[in-house]
Chains A and B, each alone.
Chain A
Amino acid sequence: MAAQPVPKVMKQGKLVPWLYLAPSILIMTLFIVYPMINTIGLSFLNKDGTASAATTCIAGKACWGIFENYHYALTSELDTTSFGSFWSTFWGSSYGNTLKWIIFMVSGTVAIGLAFAVFADRIKYETLAKAVIFMPMAISFVGAGVIWKFVYDFGTQQVQIGLLNSILAAFGQKPIAFIQTPGINMAALIAVGIWIWTGFCMTILSASIKSVPVEILEAARVDGATEWAIFWKIMVPIINPTIIVVITTMVINTLKVFDIVYVMSGGQFGTDVIAVRMYREMYKFFNVGHGTAVAVVLIVVIIPFIYLNIKRFIEQEAIR
């Protein structure tokens, strides 16, 4: 299970490795480990971290005592009077929206990325084609936000300078305020996310597809299998581990989505997500307790993926 054994001749004093490690460990402890613990602590305190969260309870209203910030973080957006109202408010909350992001962004990026990788594998201008799909990865989310805001532009006058609305106009349809219309705006924002991240999925999946032995594919073709069957019955099972890695990575990326929403809609019009909400609680309302509680909710959701990552790493090391 251990990593590569160190050669005998390279044994060294006990202190030497720690000299090499010290700067990194110090900085990571200071900037990741300590703040994480501190954040958890702060989430049980009031808005400026001076007293217990229990003191913020309002008399006569439901109170979770020291967990009051979590009471706020988890339920303030929801209407829990009945299951129906809970259900409908959940899908409009930052949690419901984040879940929508995960469902559509992950399936969208993986599906398009995989399909494109398969198709691009058969053409001569593959490198160029892949570079185009991959390019948004180099652009900032802010830049991408501006690019797409322009595509979605909604003119109040007759002229539509936004590409999508002018296409609608060409077909005689009424223009749509893509960013302001609830429901449509979530799709519009997620489309931007897909535009950015598909290149990432495509690149990794493409490398995996290329590692599928050509002989197996040729043999199946000789036996008369259709390309569709070859894809589902041979290719997908072989690259399945990579697909799972890509999916987990994408789920984590999606959970943290901030910039796109912040720039394009500011979390308004029913497009709020966890990360934007956390930022707002902390830096607009200056409520440390609420902000950190939302952050802790986020890390709790991510913990299973941390576990998966470590588990995968240990398995990989065992093979080496």
Chain B
Amino acid sequence: MNRERINKLLNRVPTHFIVILTILIWIIPTIGLLITSLRPLQAINTTGWWTIFSPPTGSQQYKQSCAVCHGVDGNALPKANLTDPAVVNQFPRSLSLLADLRKNINGQPHMGSTPLPSEQDAANIISYLKQISGIQVQPRFTLNNYIDALVGYRGTNTYTVDCAKGTQATDLHCNLSDLLNPRGMGRAFVNSLIVTIPATFLPILLAAFAGYAFAWLDFKGRFALFAVLVGLQVVPLQMTLVPISRIYAQLHLNGTFLGVWLFHTGFGLPYAIYLMRNFLGSLPRDLFESAYLDGASHWTVFRRLVIPLAMPAIASLGIFQFLWVWNDLLVALVFLGGTTPVMTYQISNMVTSLGAGWQLLTAAAFLSILLPMIVFFSLQRYFVRGMLAGAVKG
């Protein structure tokens, strides 16, 4: 019995191995992004994010070359206390440190029998000494990247430091109004919300109407019209960009939220109606019949019966459309562009033309995926259900 159990368990080892390996491959890139976004700029560019829990730069070399005499903490010799900033400041560069190490102290070689560190090692030792003497303390984690990304800081330092010194760029005011700086992700977040909420609500509302008609009302060409709708689901967005931007140019709708809302509504509708109709069509017929026999009008049935009952479908659709609009780049790129940048536009702009550093990019990217992640993990059930109902939208 026991033996059988062990065998069964062993048989499962490859399964667990494969599953866990796949999970790791899938999740590690995102974890790398998150960790990097929380690290100070200098650390990002000199060490990989996976070294985050390893000892600070130079501690290894320090231990090898210096710890014997100066002690593990650097303060074993009172005459050469390495935790004293004044002592460490004598060696701004690796060369000055090496020169000192070659000198004799009290007639004895400084290093004794320990070999001299290489130039690279010496540089690392200096950065470690700066760390323990408090000259240049590098925290492991910082929120500065997020602040910089939110306010659209583009300097070489950080927003907080520049503001403290008063050397910030002219478009920054070092108060809360910076959160709405047009170059920042804070403003882009607001823009994304303004685009997404109506562009989610509108197609669902219209689809509920149309879905009800397709499911429970009788009219000529019902089936044919619905078949056309099924076909429309896969029409690529690219097909319609040019004519619509030409129309929008005439109507002055380019760069307006209204234009984007309408466009997303148009493209969200085929799938939304499809899902609504299938969902409403699966409701029991008796329900509708008894309502009509009681003298309810279509409008009453729609308001009192259809909308409350359709809530699961509305939830699925809502998540779908929300994620679709929030994550869209192409429509935002064409119809909104840089005048009212949304998050995806802002990030793609940072990557393609601004060449922003990793500290800004990772923080910005994480800000943009934060809301979708929350929506996704809290409402995953509805999302999956909507997808299984036949998602061909993409």
Contacts and interface: CB of A to CB of B under 8 A. Distances in A.
Interface of A: 1-4, 6-7, 9-12, 14, 16-18, 20-21, 23-25, 27-28, 30-36, 38-39, 42, 49, 112, 115-116, 119-120, 122-123, 129, 131-143, 145-151, 153, 159-163, 166, 195, 200, 203-204, 207, 249, 252-253, 255-256, 258-259, 262-264, 266, 275, 278-279, 282-283, 288, 291-292, 295-296, 298-299, 302, 305-307, 309-310, 313-314, 317
B292 A9 contact: yes
A31 B368 contact: no
B217 interface: yes
B16 A123 contact: yes
Q: Which secondary structure characterizes the binding site on chain A?
A: helix
> Which of B44, B344, B375 has the largest number of chain A CB atoms within 10 A?
B344
A140 B28 contact: no
Given A138-B372, A195-B29, A252-B234, 9 more contacts: A3-B222, A4-B215, A32-B232, A32-B267, A136-B30, A153-B358, A283-B334, A295-B239, A313-B227
B50, B239, B330, B352: which has the most chain A beta carbons within 10 Å? B239
Interface in B30-47: 30, 32-33, 36, 44-47
A24 B380 CA distance: 28
The B contact surface, by secondary structure, is: helix
B368 A140 contact: yes
Nearest to B328: A140
17 contacts: A20-B298, A24-B273, A27-B265, A28-B266, A32-B240, A112-B22, A145-B348, A146-B351, A159-B45, A161-B46, A163-B28, A203-B384, A256-B236, A262-B348, A282-B241, A298-B238, A309-B233
Nearest to B229: A28
Interface residues on chain B, size class: 35 or more
A284 B87 CA distance: 58
Interface string B186-221: 000000000000000000001101101111111100
A18 B329 contact: no
B309 interface: no
Contact of A143 (B12, B223, B266, B368): B368
Contacts of A313: 227, 230
Contacts of A123: 12, 15-16, 19
A140 B217 contact: no
A160 B46 CA distance: 8
Interface string B231-259: 11111111111111010000000000000
A76 to B, nearest CB: 18
B326 A140 contact: yes
Cβ-closest 3 pairs across A and B: A31-B266, A140-B327, A35-B240
Contacts of A252: 234, 392, 394
Contact of A9 (B26, B222, B289, B351): B289
Contacts of A3: 214-215, 222-223, 226, 281
B365 interface: yes
Nearest to B365: A146
Residue with the highest number of chain A CB atoms closer than 10 Å, among B49, B223, B262, B392: B392
Nearest to A132: B23
B315 interface: no
A315 B215 CA distance: 17
Given A132-B27, A140-B326, A147-B29, A203 B244 contact: no
B242 A11 contact: no
B72 interface: no
A21 B388 CA distance: 25
B298 A30 contact: no
B105 interface: no
A38 B229 CA distance: 19
B314 interface: no
B279 interface: no
B358 A150 contact: yes
A286 B243 CA distance: 13
A9 B293 contact: yes
A27 B238 contact: no
B29 A150 contact: yes
A133 B26 contact: yes
A17 B238 contact: no
Contacts of A159: 45-48
B106 to A, nearest CB: 38
B166 to A, nearest CB: 32
A256 B239 CA distance: 11
B219 A14 contact: yes
Nearest to B236: A256
Nearest to A38: B243
B227 A132 contact: no
B239 A23 contact: no
A140 B369 contact: yes
B62 to A, nearest CB: 19
B213 A203 contact: no
Contacts of A39: 239-240, 242-243
A38 B281 CA distance: 35
A17 B213 CA distance: 5
Interface string B289-321: 100110000100010000000000000000000
A290 to B, nearest CB: 11
Contacts of B206: 23-24, 27
B364 to A, nearest CB: 8
Nearest to A140: B327
B323 A138 contact: yes
Contact of B234 (A35, A278, A305): A305
A302 B235 contact: yes
Contacts of B330: 258-259, 279
B91 interface: no
Nearest to A252: B234
B19 A120 contact: yes
A95 B344 CA distance: 26
